[in-house]
Structure 1
Amino acid sequence: MKINDFKLECYFGRYEFTAPYLLTQSDCESMTTKELLSMEPGAEEEYLNQWLGYTETWGDPELRRLIATLYNDMTADDVLVFHGAQEAIFGYMNVLLNEGDHIIAMYPNYQSAFEVANSIPNCEFSKWYIKDDGAKWTVDFDELEALIRPNTKVIAVCSPNNPTGYTFTNAEIKQLCEICRKHDIYLFSDEVYKGLELDGNKREWMADNYYKCASLGVMSKAYGLAGLRVGWLVSKDHETLENVVKFKHYMSICDSAPSEFLSKVALKHSDELLERSIKIIRNNLKLADEFFDRYSNIFEKKPITCGPVAYHKLLIDMPVKDFCQLAVDKKGVLLLPSDIYGMDDQYFRMGYGRMGVSESLAKFEEFLIEEKFV
């Protein structure tokens, strides 16, 4: 197959490990292996005795059981583990989509959610836009239904959304699932930030609401354990999972045994790790809100109700791509402009899940002053 470059990863490949002030990262603060193992009595010794052979293609049985407990109505049999979320998306979309199919994807979105469709001959792709109403991000379900065609196979959503931070309410989750049920459409739901609710309203997993939904989770984002490279799909649709696991045979085959062990330790302390991430996000949001309030003539801030990312608007008469390039060139402050998402507008992504946001905002402020934006 031929597939377009992954714009975000190409961009990060240039700057993620060289720019000193990262203000756009989408994951939460990580930790050392020692810190993680210290959370579970006896885990360090057990880890050192971990057998380094092949693991099961479906994933470690105990890991699958622990993942299933995150959901309301799932068992280990409903869980398929992957080498990160990216592999899960790539495998699912390749299995579900064929020539002549049509996919609708929430937009903006993680590129791989729709890019596989673009690589399949005569596979059509429509965008369901998240819209800026001037104060916040919104979606229109009437517009979604208007996009549905007789050959629509999959609707792909990302909630909490990356990059906007838009998050479905539980009522909207049920509405979306009912639309898919009515039209007999598969639902692919990227929920990698699930558990990071900031508004006090815990969201339901979409796979708990619809048989033909596959919910995507990962250790990377909400848990801050990106280096483990462990993700999963959860669904009651076992036929689809069986087909996807056969595609996995041509990718990773199985996951890393040490990564699966560490993921089990993490999920035994899921609430503790999520609360750790939420605390960091809340603290960073306070700092960011103060920053944007000082510079309301330059930026239009957008609120978030869940997750660590927000998509703010640049108000000055300068292309946001050039503005972000200048920030990283002059001060090493990394932001993510909207052209990375194939959008010709004035938005940029900021991330609040990591430590060091205070220092990065201070450097960003220096940039604004020195370049005479204020």
Structure 2
Amino acid sequence: MIPDRSKIENFFGQHEFDVDYVACASDVDGCSLRELLDLADEESLALWEGLELGYTETTGHPLLREAIAGEYTKTGPDNVTVCGGGAAEALFLLTNALLGPGDHAVVVAPAFESVHRIGPALGASVTPVPLDPGQGWRLDLDAVRRALRPATRAVFVNFPHNPTGALPTRAEFEDLLALGAEAGVVVVSDEVYRHLEFDPETTLPAACDLDERAVSVGVMSKAYGLAGLRVGWLATRNQALVDAARAVKDYTTVCASAPSEILSLIALRAREHLVARSRRIIRENLTHVESFFGQHADAFAWEPPRAGMLGFPQLLLPVPVEDFVRELAREQSVLLLPDSVFDMADNRFRIGLGRTSLPDALDRIGEFVGHRVGSLA
């Protein structure tokens, strides 16, 4: 099974480390090791200092699974599987566990590529259900219902959403889970941006708590600013799915990195501090971004994200966004992500709010746009 080449990873592989500013990053500035260790409690610090670099438990360190389970209300440590390849591995395991030849999945669009690419490589068909930009990137539940087939095995969603920043209401999300339960399909909920809501009151319940068949995917990369640990997880009370996913895991990472597991434990026990740090960076950058797009309304159509750390503005200049992105990287050393990597052609690009360097990047984008607009006058 070889899926099509990942457009996103290929794009970043070509450009990410050749520019001064990655203004489309999907994560928050990483914490330093020293900063994280300063947050350790006595038990987790002792685990770190006495760490032996051997294999770890396939399902994850028991204390780490216990800390992850703290994210949920009905889903316990035994329902958690730690993934040593981040959320990407969790989605890979789930797709392989759920789909095969002749099966069908419904996938929100745009979306992280793996759920669009892996299913077809397994012989399954995938129906994308686009979010509606005219309705604040709202998910149309009737469209999801119409997309369901007798062969449908799963519905893949992601909220807070990458790349639009969309967030349904609690009632809409609960209706989605009820729709999945009624149809007998598994709702796979990518929740990697959970806890990065602008208003904590809008935080959605975890899918795995709402429906025992559903599964929630989490990661240390986003809300916690620890992408380098490469630790993610899947959580579900669906034991048949747990068993199937863990069987696939025996052929991927087998187990997570021992240092990464203990560092993740430290982070999760200090979750309030780390999430507050991420929210602070995002909130400050959102102010800068709102001002920037207000000053350049002739060049961009901006829809503020409702949650998370990503936005998906539209380029209004008479130039293909791929050319705009390429020339911006070459002339100003600033990287944006064109919508073509999401299989779209709406002249949009992704911008990320998680890097403290974003205000400087915006200054360079503004200079570039000024030259562009001047040349068109």
Is TM-score (shorter-chain normalized) higher than 0.5?
Answer: yes
Matches of 1:220 and 1:242 in 2, distance apart?
25
1:86 match: 88
Distance 2:198 2:158 in 1: 17
Secondary structure of the 1:198 match is: coil
* Kept in 2: contact 1:137–1:302 (CA 8 A): no
Match of 1:12 in 2: 12
Q: Secondary structure at the match of 1:16?
A: helix
Contact 1:157 1:188 in 2 (8 A): yes
Q: 1:148 maps to which residue? A: 148
**Residue 41 of structure 1: how far off its partner (Å):** 4.2
**C-alpha distance in 2, partners of 1:81/1:235?**
12
Shift of 1:16: 1.2
Q: Are residues 1:358 and 2:356 paired? A: no
The offset of 1:44, in angstroms, is 4.9
Q: Which residue of 2 is the match for residue 369 of structure 1? A: 370
Q: CA deviation at 1:330?
A: 1.0
- The CA distance in 2 between the partners of 1:157 and 1:264, in whole Å, is 27
Task: State the superposition RMSD in angstroms.
Answer: 1.3
Partner Cα distance (1:151, 1:44) in 2: 49
Deviation at 1:25, TM superposition (A): 0.3
In structure 2, what is the equivalent of residue 58 of structure 1?
Answer: 59
Q: Retained in 1: the 8 A contact 2:25–2:351?
A: yes
Q: Distance in 2 between matches of 1:114 and 1:299?
A: 28
In structure 2, how many angstroms separate the alpha carbons of the residues matched to 1:156 and 1:54? 32
Letter in 2 for 1:130: L
Provide the C-alpha distance between the structure 1 equivalents of 2:34 and 2:199, rounded to a whole number of angstroms: 32
Distance 2:99 2:41 in 1: 45
User: Following the alignment from structure 1 to structure 2, what is the Cα–Cα distance between the partners of residues 162 and 41?
Assistant: 33
Q: In 2, Cα distance between the equivalents of 1:240 and 1:199?
A: 33
- Which structure 2 residues correspond to residues 168-183 of structure 1 after superposition, within 5 A? 168-183=168-183
> What letter corresponds to residue 111 of structure 2 in structure 1?
N
Gaps of 5+ in 1: none
Aligned to 2:226: 225
- Hey, what does 2:194 align to over in structure 1? 194
Which residue, out of 95, 115, 122, partners 1:113?
115
Distance (Å, rounded) in 2 between the aligned partners of 1:51 and 1:306? 39
- Choose between structure 1 and 2: higher helix proportion: 2
Query: Structure 2: 5+ residue runs without aligned partners?
Result: none
CA distance in 2, matches of 1:46, 1:66: 15
Q: Please tell me whether the aligned partners of residues 199 and 305 of structure 1 are also in contact (alpha carbons under 8 angstroms).
A: no
Write the letter of the residue equivalent to 1:14. Q
Letter in 2 for 1:214: V
Structure 2 residue 271 is the aligned partner of structure 1 residue 293: no
The answer to which of 138-147 and 282-291 deviates more is: 138-147
Query: Deviations for 1:95-114, whole angstroms, at most 9, x for unmatched residues?
Result: 11011001110000000012
Q: Which residue is equivalent to 1:100? A: 102
Aligned equivalents of 1:257, 1:223: Cα separation in 2: 18
1:2 deviates by 2.1
Distance in 1 (CA, whole Å) between partners of 2:371 and 2:221 is 36
Q: Which residue is 1:23 aligned to?
A: 23
- SS of alignment partner, residue 104 of structure 1: strand
**Distance (Å, rounded) in 2 between the aligned partners of 1:163 and 1:34:** 31
Alpha-carbon offset, residue 120 of structure 1: 2.1
* % identity of equivalent residues: 35
Matches within 5 A, 1:150-299: 150-200=150-200, 201-299=202-300
- Residues 20-72 of structure 1, C-alpha deviation per residue, up to 9 Å, x if partnerless? 11110000121111110001244556423211111000000000000001111
* 1:136 alignment partner in structure 2: 136
Whether the aligned pair in 1 keeps the contact of 2:138 and 2:168 (CA below 8 Å) is no
Amino acid at match of 2:113: Q
Matching residue of 1:334: 335
Whole-Å separation in 2 of the counterparts to 1:284 and 1:143: 34
Shift of 1:192: 0.2
What SS does the aligned partner of 1:137 have?
Answer: coil
Corresponding residue SS for 2:154: strand
Q: Does 1:312 align with 2:338?
A: no
Greater shift after overlay, 231-240 or 317-326?
Answer: 317-326
Give the TM-score, by structure 2 length: 0.96
Displacement after TM superposition at 1:370 (Å): 2.8
**What is the distance in 2 between the residues matched to 1:45 and 1:58?**
22
Match of 1:125, SS?
strand
Q: Which residue of 1 aligns with 2:128?
A: 127
Maintained 8 Å contact 2:47/2:262: no
Tell me by how many angstroms 1:73 deviates.
Answer: 1.2
Asked if 1 retains the 8 angstrom alpha-carbon contact of 2:41 and 2:266, the reply is no
Deviates more, 1:60-69 or 1:43-52: 43-52
1:199 deviation in Å? 2.7
Which amino acid is 1:309 matched to?
Answer: L
Which amino acid letter does the alignment assign opposite residue 87 of structure 2? A
Q: Secondary structure at the match of 1:370?
A: helix
Structure 1 SS opposite 2:18: coil
| 8 Å contact kept, 1:38–1:44 | no
The answer to whether the 8 A contact 1:215-1:235 is kept is: yes
CA distance in 2, matches of 1:372, 1:240: 54
